[in-house]
Amino acid sequence: MHNKQANDMNLSINTSSLITTYKEVSPEIAAKLTGGDKTTYVRTLFDKISNRYDLIRTIVFLGHTSLWYRQSLSDLDLKVGDKVLDVGCGTGESTRYLINRYPGINVEGMDISSGMLNEARRLSPKVNYFEGDVSAIPCPNATYDFVLTTFTFRNFPERNVAIAEMLRVLRPGGRLLILDHFYPQNPLWRAVYTFWMRRVVPQIVKPFMEDVTPYRYLAESIINGLTISGFKTLLELNQAVVLQTNTYTGGAAGRVIAVCQQEDIE
Ligand SMILES: C[S@@+](CC[C@H](N)C(=O)[O-])C[C@H]1O[C@@H](n2cnc3c(N)ncnc32)[C@H](O)[C@@H]1O
């Protein structure tokens, strides 16, 4: 049977929360939160922005998100009947991309925000979207052939638990794909990117939202997040074998594909 990694590695998270909404914490502090406080922060923030999420994201990243999906999700060799889980599926844009690209696969989406899930269900009513936390995915071991998570990882309350859980629900030899915004490594591009995210984005979001806090949090979560090489190391420390890493748009986005180490499988 596939490993029960989160248990075996004695990983767990503190699920209690001292806050009730994202409004109680500054974006700078929120980017460094862990455990139940992070979960509450992120869930309430995404509930709030869910109905404008797709539009504002297109503006903030100048339409690059569709390009990044194409670059990272079009060469996966998924087969008819493959069971796929989209963790933190949000409004379902990544889920829909996969369904169109690989007809016949069986994709489900899971998210912690009911607001984001409502949007996903409205846009694609035939897909099975369910509520769940990456820290305790409500599925048996070895359920899926492929697990992906796109632009989510910085929001997870405990990185090691999230990785262990996503590997746990994969069948032996199944692949895990992470696509995310990473902090670019080139110093010049990093400076431009930081200026764009911290100074320009709050201004361009203002006409669409009274409170631009969610987009200040987006900037801080990327700037305080991992580089792609740091992320690769994190996966390896969590018993995954990294098969491939790719960066896009000068490292502003990147993908990592990994499999679970075979010796962990009984
Ligand atoms: C930036 S959105 C990305 C959505 C989607 N994957 C996409 O590519 O558009 C991040 C999503 O991760 C979800 N999320 C954050 N923390 C989560 C957790 N602990 N468990 C499950 N989903 C989570 C959020 O609710 C949100 O919908």
pLDDT of 266 above 80: no
Confidence of residue 5 (pLDDT cuts 50, 70, 90): very low
pLDDT in tens, 114-143: 999 999 999 999 999 999 999 999 999 999
CA of 7 to the centre of ligand 1 (A): 24
End-to-end Cα spacing for the chain: 5
pLDDT of 3 above 70: no
Q: Is 119 in the pocket of ligand 1 (CB under 6 A)?
A: no
CA of 120 to the centre of ligand 1 (A): 12
Under a CB-based contact definition with an 8 Å cutoff, are residues 38 and 157 in contact? yes
pLDDT for res 116:
97
Q: Is 3 in the pocket of ligand 1 (CB under 6 A)?
A: no
Contacts of 189 (CB under 8 A, 6+ apart): 250, 251, 252
CA of 239 to the centre of ligand 1 (A): 23
Bridge partners, residue 255, by sequence = 179, 246
Under a CB-based contact definition with an 8 Å cutoff, are residues 71 and 245 in contact? no
Q: Is 180 in the pocket of ligand 1 (CB under 6 A)?
A: no
Q: What is the mean pLDDT of residues 26-52?
A: 93
Q: Is 46 in the pocket of ligand 1 (CB under 6 A)?
A: yes
DSSP structure string for 115-173? HHHHHHHHH-TTSEEEE--GGG-SS-TT-EEEEEEES-GGG-S-HHHHHHHHHHTEEEE
Atom 26 of ligand 1, nearest CA residue:
90
CA of 45 to the centre of ligand 1 (A): 11
Q: Which two tokens stand for residue 18?
A: 């001292």
pLDDT in tens, 99-111: 999 999 999 999 9
Torsion of CA 221, 222, 225, 227, to 10 degrees: 170
pLDDT of 44 above 90: yes
Q: Is 231 in the pocket of ligand 1 (CB under 6 A)?
A: no
Tell me how far apart the alpha carbons of residues 159 and 157 are, in angstroms, rounded to a whole number.
7
